[in-house]
Amino acid sequence: MCTSTLEHPHAHTPATTDDAPLSYADPAQQPRELERTVEAGDHFIGLVRAGQHLRITDLHGNQAADTLFFSADDTAERYSAMDTVREQGKVYLTTGTVLYSTRGRALLTITGDTCGRHDTLGGACSSESNTVRYDLEKRHMHSCRDNWMLAIARYPKYDLTKRDIGHNINFFMNVPVTADGGLSFEDGLSAPGKYVEMVAERDVYVLLSNCPQLNNPCNGYDPTPVAIRISDSPLS
């Protein structure tokens, strides 16, 4: 489903060790321990059980992983950028940040971060917003929201529709806010191998789009793979 016209030269990374599916149709069937490579323009949907650790690794650097979280008990409760930013009193996310839900409850806590800063204000790319940000003729290009739409259509057991798609986290993105109220998009602080790790405070679904954005200089116009790992034991 990746319609990127750019062939990136990077070798396939070894995070997927067998031909197991990237995502499971039934979250209950997902093994507890899981490690996968998510190529740019692809999506991952999965379950992180309470107490488990989730690590996302920027394999080649300057990539953005546009991520949503949902309470697995009731997907009407989801990650809230506003509640998270307000309750921690800070715009960026890093080690120690609690990711709050729309009901003001903790979904996950960031326990390790070698990147240092992640954005939650800038939202995800979509074909519609690309027409506004870049050019009316960019509508046909692949986007994070298209990734999410395909995931929720393909995996109905996760009980998600467009209504549930809210304001997300952009792991590895650097979107500085200035004192006079400006907002800019800067080259990432990320680099090959940098990661963010978090622990789930309850059972959560993670819905990740590895951004296929070819219009933003942040990734050098070369979207690259990320790795995702779900584990009972902390990795950092």
Partner 1 sequence: MNIPLDAATTARASFTAKYQTHLPGGHHWSMRMPRGSALKLTAREANANVGLVMYNPLDLLERLNLPDTLKGQHTFRLTEGHCLYSDMGRIFASIIQDDLGWHDSASGNLMEQHFAAKGWHKKAYQQAFNDFTPSGHDSLLIEMAKYGLSERDLCANLNLFSRVRADEDANLHYVADHCAAGDSVTLRFEMDTLVMLHTCPHPLDPAEEYPLRGVDMTFGTATPMDEHDACYLSRPENARAYANNQLYHLAG
Contact positions vs partner 1 (CB under 8 A): 75-77, 80-83, 85-86, 89-92, 102, 104, 121-124, 126, 128-133, 135-136, 161-164, 166-168, 175-185
Query: Which residues are registered as beta bridge partners of 46?
Result: 206
* Residue 38 interacts with Zn ion (CB under 5 A): yes or no: no
Reference 68, options 96, 107, 21; nearest CA is 107
CB contact at 8 A, 184 and 103: no
Task: Identify what 9 binds: partner 1, Zn ion, none; CB under 5 to 8 Å per kind.
Answer: none
* Residue 130 interacts with Zn ion (CB under 5 A): yes or no: no
| Shortest CB 141 distance to Zn ion, Å | 10
| Shortest CB 161 distance to partner 1, Å | 8
* Residue 67 interacts with Zn ion (CB under 5 A): yes or no: no
CB contact at 8 A, 40 and 63: yes
From CA 98, how far away is CA 83, in angstroms rounded? 10
| Shortest CB 4 distance to Zn ion, Å | 12
- In this structure, what token pair is assigned to residue 122? 């800038």
Task: Identify what 144 binds: Zn ion, partner 1, none; CB under 5 to 8 Å per kind.
Answer: Zn ion
Among 47, 65, 110, 125, binds Zn ion (CB under 5 A): 125
Q: Which class for 119: exposed (0-12), middle (13-18), buried (19 or more C-beta within 10 A)? A: buried
| Shortest CB 179 distance to Zn ion, Å | 28
* Residue 211 interacts with Zn ion (CB under 5 A): yes or no: yes
Report the residue number, 13 or 127, with the smaller CB distance to partner 1. Answer: 127
Helix (H, G, I), strand (E, B) or coil at 225: coil
User: For the chain, how far is it from start to end, CA to CA, in angstroms?
Assistant: 33
